[in-house]
């Protein structure tokens, strides 16, 4: 099953993807995590992507689609977190899945913009695993350190207060049109989720949706 986590930055996609990855056989593919890995390793793609990422803009479709072509070559059960983010990416994904005889369902995380800013400002991450914390809503057991590895947490350097607004604007302009792309009533490919509920409750709802509507979610 290919599950697309759709929603604005800060909606809780990465948090839920990590929980489901640990509890089920899903593998999370986060384009943001992949790009950050390219940057840490200093690859040509990482160097090309960094300016876009630091300013809160999207990395060009062509680079993302090429990266995902190879990432998706052998997958079956996967959560796509942060991809697709444009109509062109969604069309490329559909073509790729069609060729493999697979379909994808999208889960839309609904969270009002005012809440997203607070979530993003208080977010801390563990770079090696992608695990996500929040200083108020989901604090680690020991402040500043990952629960499982004990390694230090970081605040993403590309999430300064001034770029958060750019990211949310970019979402509304370039990614929000995917809601219409996936909500074609005949294909029933989109399911809405109240992302404002506490983390454990959102997880429970996703689990129910996956169980009840395996073809749509
Ligand atoms: P995304 O991957 O959609 O950008 P994240 O999973 O990184 O979002 O979550 C953004 C921040 O909000 C993190 O600090 C996370 O701990 C926190 N968060 C995630 N889900 C919830 C929730 N349901 N309620 C409150 N805070 C949440
Ligand atoms: P994320 O970790 O999903 O918040 O992504 C961090 C940054 O990586 C984004 O702000 C973009 O610059 C870039 N990025 C991640 N995924 C994509 C994508 N599918 N298309 C374009 N840019 C992306």
Which domain CATH number covers 78?
3.40.50.300
How many whole angstroms from 142 Cα to the centroid of ligand 2? 29
Q: Report the residue among 28, 134, 136, 147 best suited for mutation to probe ligand 1: largest number of ligand atoms under 8 A from its CB.
A: 134
**Ligand 2 pocket check for 119: Cβ under 6 Å:** no
E-strand ranges in 7-142 read 27-30, 78-81, 104-110, 123-126, 131-134
Say if 46 falls within a structural domain.
yes
Say if 90 falls within a structural domain.
yes
DSSP string, 150-207: -PBPB--TT--HHHHHHHHHHIIIIITHHHHHH--TTTT-EEEEETTS-HHHHHHHHH
Task: Report which ligand 1 atom has the smallest distance to the Cα of 5.
Answer: 3
CA gap 103, 22 in Å, rounded: 23
CB 147 within 8 A of CB 141: yes
Residue that wins the pLDDT comparison between 12 and 23: 12
16: exposed, middle or buried (Cβ count in 10 Å: 0-12, 13-18, 19+): buried
Say if 147 falls within a structural domain.
no
Say if 18 falls within a structural domain.
yes
pLDDT tens digit string along 89-122?
A: 999 999 999 988 888 999 999 999 999 999 999 9
What is the β-pairing status of strands 104-110 and 2-6?
A: parallel
Residue that wins the pLDDT comparison between 124 and 211: 124
Say if 22 falls within a structural domain.
yes
Helix (H, G, I), strand (E, B) or coil at 77: coil
CA gap 87, 176 in Å, rounded: 10
Q: Report the residue among 6, 29, 34, 53 best suited for mutation to probe ligand 2: largest number of ligand atoms under 8 A from its CB.
A: 53
Say if 151 falls within a structural domain.
no
**Ligand 1 pocket check for 39: Cβ under 6 Å:** no
What is the tally of structural domains in the chain? 1
Q: Is the peptide bond before 84 cis (omega within 30 degrees of 0)?
A: yes
Say if 10 falls within a structural domain.
yes
CA gap 164, 207 in Å, rounded: 30
pLDDT at residue 131 in the model = 92
Say if 105 falls within a structural domain.
yes
Domain, as residue range, for 73 = 2-111+175-212
CA gap 90, 87 in Å, rounded: 5
**Ligand 1 pocket check for 26: Cβ under 6 Å:** no
pLDDT tier for residue 184 given thresholds of 50, 70 and 90: confident
């Amino acid at each position: 099953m290919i599950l697309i986590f759709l929603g604005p930055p800060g909606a809780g996609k990465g948090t839920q993807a990590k929980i489901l990855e640990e509890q089920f056989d899903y593998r999370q593919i986060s384009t943001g995590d992949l790009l950050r890995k390219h940057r840490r390793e200093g690859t040509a793609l990482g160097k090309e992507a960094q300016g876009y990422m630091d300013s809160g803009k999207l990395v060009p479709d062509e680079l993302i689609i090429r990266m995902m072509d190879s990432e998706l070559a052998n997958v079956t059960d996967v959560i796509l977190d942060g991809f697709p983010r444009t109509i062109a990416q969604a069309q490329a994904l559909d073509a790729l899945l069609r060729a493999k005889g697979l379909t994808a369902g999208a889960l839309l995380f609904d969270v009002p913009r005012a809440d997203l800013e607070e979530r993003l400002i208080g977010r801390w991450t563990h770079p090696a695993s992608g695990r996500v914390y929040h200083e108020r809503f989901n604090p680690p057991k020991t402040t500043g350190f990952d629960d499982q590895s004990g390694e230090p947490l970081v605040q993403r350097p590309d999430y300064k207060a001034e770029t958060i607004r750019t990211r949310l604007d970019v979402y509304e302009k370039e990614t929000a049109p995917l809601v219409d792309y996936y909500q074609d009533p005949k294909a029933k490919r989109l399911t809405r989720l109240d992302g404002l509920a506490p983390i454990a409750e959102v997880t429970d709802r996703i689990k129910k949706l996956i169980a009840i509507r395996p073809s749509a979610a």
